Amino acid sequence: MTLCIDWALWRSFLAVAEAGSLSGAARRLSLTQPTVGRHIEQLEGAFGQKFFLRSPQGLMPTEEALALLPQARAMAMAADSLERQASAPAEEARGIVRIAASHVVGVELLPEALAPLVDAHPGLETELALSNENSDLLRHEADIALRMARPTQGSLIARYLGEVPLGLFAHRSYLLRHGSPQEPGDLRGHLLIGADRDPAFLAALEAFGGAMTRRSFRLRCDSEAAQLAALREGIGIAICQRGIAARDPDLVPVLAGQVSFRLGCWLVMHDDLRAVRRIRMVYDHLGKCLPRMFKRQPVP
Amino acid sequence: MTLCIDWALWRSFLAVAEAGSLSGAARRLSLTQPTVGRHIEQLEGAFGQKFFLRSPQGLMPTEEALALLPQARAMAMAADSLERQASAPAEEARGIVRIAASHVVGVELLPEALAPLVDAHPGLETELALSNENSDLLRHEADIALRMARPTQGSLIARYLGEVPLGLFAHRSYLLRHGSPQEPGDLRGHLLIGADRDPAFLAALEAFGGAMTRRSFRLRCDSEAAQLAALREGIGIAICQRGIAARDPDLVPVLAGQVSFRLGCWLVMHDDLRAVRRIRMVYDHLGKCLPRMFKRQPVP
DNA sequence: GATCCGCTATACGGAAATGTATGACCCTAT
DNA sequence: ATAGGGTCATACATTTCCGTATAGCGGATC
């Protein structure tokens, strides 16, 4: 407020920092290199410090610019969110809704869950922001998020969807080749598929008190979607949501009665978006639809 | 991103919504009324909807605009924060630091706590954002916040400052006129000063199981600073931080050994600001300084 | 070593956004 | 009733800002 910096300058600032060059930023913003260059100049002039080191290879952010970067991103998120929200009148069921979820959920559950909704509302557009990290709703990275951890409040609205049942599964072909484990101890001889560095997963392993370590899993990957693909390929045994496994008749439960996990699941949205009808609608729909999908049993 | 709205338009949007008129917004932004009017026009054109109802008395936000408002504010917060952060090179101990706290703390503790710091660093500017509500660091309303509740994470860094000891106090003159209560039951006949609608306070009362209600307090006000002023005026008996009461020799503990409370206290900052030296510095200083002030004993 | 492709920096003409000035309207106060 | 302060809308001049074009620099490729 003190200096009244034109907000457009920050946009150029962020673009340059992310693109690494004036020209690159200009392309991204549909501007020209001299314009973006002037913006940066203007910014540096206003604050009396250099934000980028010029070089013929591009611009390198200085220490100061790096410190500003996260906040500039926050601003960009808010701007994007504004454009999404303004994309249609609040009381209509059309416009853009951005949903954050893990890769598996995005691949295996959301398409099916959203299908009837987008079908019924021709003006409704959905964006899936799939990521392993909990994307930050507070920064408006998405409108709605599906989370496996209780949201730690802070102007967020959450709905508990219940527990997602997990189990061990293997492809029929794998079991034909390697046999079916009959008790947990048998797992030692099998090829297990698990997460790579996912902290939640590693923490869960601790619970087994050393009986299972990261090394127990011979195919490690943080993308659950890739794990699922490997599972379907018959590479080994993996943990999978029962509801998802149930959709594939070739996936066979392993140690069904003996090994099982559950994961709490929350649907979260930002309080700011309470007034936006289409978001509320998607939120409510997912809130009804997903628990059913979690509970789905295999059809024999 | 889809439409590439100039960020400056959102700034005008917010200003108009908050000022209630084009002219007002123009003054606030150091622009002119036609310019701001064009901005709004442009925005409405881009999204194909009206955001304001024009009238000779000003502009009234439509339903749609109201839905966008919180996010526009979030964007403004981020912009303000950016300006603050850029106000000085990150590695220098000068620039602006914005601190959120309650009114009492802002009046009674922060000035004293900050004095040596601003004295030692001539370039350091501090802004106090005093409010009863927990101001939202995640929206960059402030750089550092002092809170009486455990921060519910989410990219926030927090330091536990320990428990703030509270007690009942009264001004010497009040006790001369009305006598000193000797046991908790005696409080019934006295004029108690307490909060008005503060949910935390009302929740705390529940703990007494109906023995104390909101009506037990004859002077009710949510501003603890005003409560303190009333206390000093000799109006009645109030709950007060012991450290604050200790600074005033005329404030006498009431039922000192028998009634006491404690309140957890956290110093919080946003993870994004970790790299900004001056903020870190103020954070560290307050982290050391405040616990001492909480524990301060009356000097007889 | 010559060529090409990426980048930045500078100069200049043109378009777009801004500011000034004015008119019309409404409310309030005299 | 009327003058004054507030508002928005419009027309016009100007300035500011942007884009085009070009020069200069460094690294990669052949």
User: What percent of chain B is modeled with pLDDT above 70?
Assistant: 95
* CATH 1.10.10.10 given to domain A7-82: yes
Cα diameter, chain B = 72
pLDDT band for position B300 (50/70/90)? low
Beta strands of chain A (E only): which ranges?
Answer: 52-55, 58-61, 95-101, 124-130, 144-147, 156-171, 192-194, 219-220, 237-241, 251-254, 261-270
Could you give phi then psi for residue B205, rounded to 5 degrees? -65, -35
Residues 52-81 of B with CB within 7 A of strand C? 56-57
Which chain B residues contact residue A43 at CB under 8 A? 86
Are B7 and A7 inside 8 Å of each other by CB?
A: yes
Average pLDDT (B63-68) is: 90
Question: What tens digit of pLDDT does each residue of A57-74 get?
Answer: 889 999 889 989 999 999
Task: Quote the mean pLDDT of chain B.
Answer: 87
CB atoms within 10 A of CB B56: 4
- Of A129-143, B6-20, B286-300, highest mean pLDDT: B6-20
B27: helix, strand or coil = helix
How far is the CA of A249 from the CAs of A246, A260, B145, in angstroms?
7, 19, 54
How far is the CA of A172 from the CAs of A178, A251, B129, in angstroms?
10, 6, 63
Q: What pLDDT score was predicted for residue B68?
A: 92
Task: Please say if the pLDDT value at position B1 is more than 50.
Answer: no
Question: How many Å does it take to go from CA A37 to C1' C9?
Answer: 9
Nearest chain B CA: its distance from A58 CA (Å): 22
Question: What tens digit of pLDDT does each residue of A14-42 get?
Answer: 999 999 999 999 998 999 999 999 999 99
Task: Please say if the pLDDT value at position A207 is more than 80.
Answer: no
Could you state, in order of their start, the residue ranges of all structural domains in chain B? 7-86, 92-300
Q: Answer with the residue of higher pLDDT: B2 or A195.
A: A195
Q: Work out the end-to-end distance of chain A between its first and last CA atoms, rounded to an integer number of angstroms.
A: 65
* CATH 1.10.390.10 given to domain A87-300: no
Question: What tens digit of pLDDT does each residue of A191-203 get?
Answer: 898 888 777 778 7
**Fold: same for A7-82 and A87-300:** no
Task: Please say if the pLDDT value at position A240 is more than 50.
Answer: yes
DSSP A297: P
Are A138 and B139 inside 8 Å of each other by CB?
A: yes
Question: What tens digit of pLDDT does each residue of B31-57 get?
Answer: 999 999 999 999 999 999 999 998 888
Tell me which H or E stretch contains B169.
Answer: strand B156-171
Nearest chain B CA: its distance from A230 CA (Å): 33
Task: Please say if the pLDDT value at position A1 is more than 50.
Answer: no
Q: Which of B80, B82, B268 to mutate to test the interface with A (most CBs of A within 10 A)?
A: B82
Question: What tens digit of pLDDT does each residue of B243-295 get?
Answer: 889 889 999 999 988 888 888 899 999 988 988 889 999 999 999 999 998 88
Q: What pLDDT score was predicted for residue B299?
A: 60
Q: Answer with the residue of higher pLDDT: A288 or B199.
A: A288
List, in sequence order, the alpha helices (H) in B190-295. Answer: 199-206, 224-232, 242-245, 277-295
Q: Answer with the residue of higher pLDDT: A251 or A122.
A: A251
Taken in order A64, A70, A76, A78, the sign of the CA dihedral is negative
Contact between A105 and A135 (Cβ < 8 Å): no
Count of helices and strands (H, E) across chain A: 11, 11
Q: What pLDDT score was predicted for residue B125?
A: 85
Residue B38's nearest nucleotide, by CA–C1', is C17
**Nucleotides of strand C under 7 angstroms from a protein beta carbon:** 6-11, 17-21, 24-27
Residue A57's nearest nucleotide, by CA–C1', is C7
Residue with CA nearest C6 C1'? A57
Residue with CA nearest D26 C1'? A56
- Helices A33-47 and A22-29: crossing angle, nearest 10°? 110
Q: Which of A266-270, A290-294, B89-93 has the lowest mean pLDDT?
A: B89-93
For β-strands B58-61 and B52-55, DSSP reports them as antiparallel
Taking the C-alpha atoms of residue B48 and residue B284, their distance in angstroms, rounded to an integer, is 50
Taking the C-alpha atoms of residue B225 and residue A238, their distance in angstroms, rounded to an integer, is 59
Question: How many Å does it take to go from CA B157 to C1' C14?
Answer: 52
Task: Quote the mean pLDDT of chain A.
Answer: 87
Nearest chain B CA: its distance from A7 CA (Å): 5
Q: Which of A76-85, A150-159, A226-235, B137-146 has the lowest mean pLDDT?
A: A150-159
**Please, which residues 254-293 of chain B have a Cβ atom closer than 8 Å to chain A?**
271-273, 275-276
* CATH 3.40.50.1100 given to domain B92-300: no
A70: helix, strand or coil = helix
Q: What pLDDT score was predicted for residue A279?
A: 92
pLDDT band for position B23 (50/70/90)? very high
Nearest chain A CA: its distance from B231 CA (Å): 33
* CATH 3.40.718.10 given to domain B7-86: no
Task: Please say if the pLDDT value at position A4 is more than 90.
Answer: no
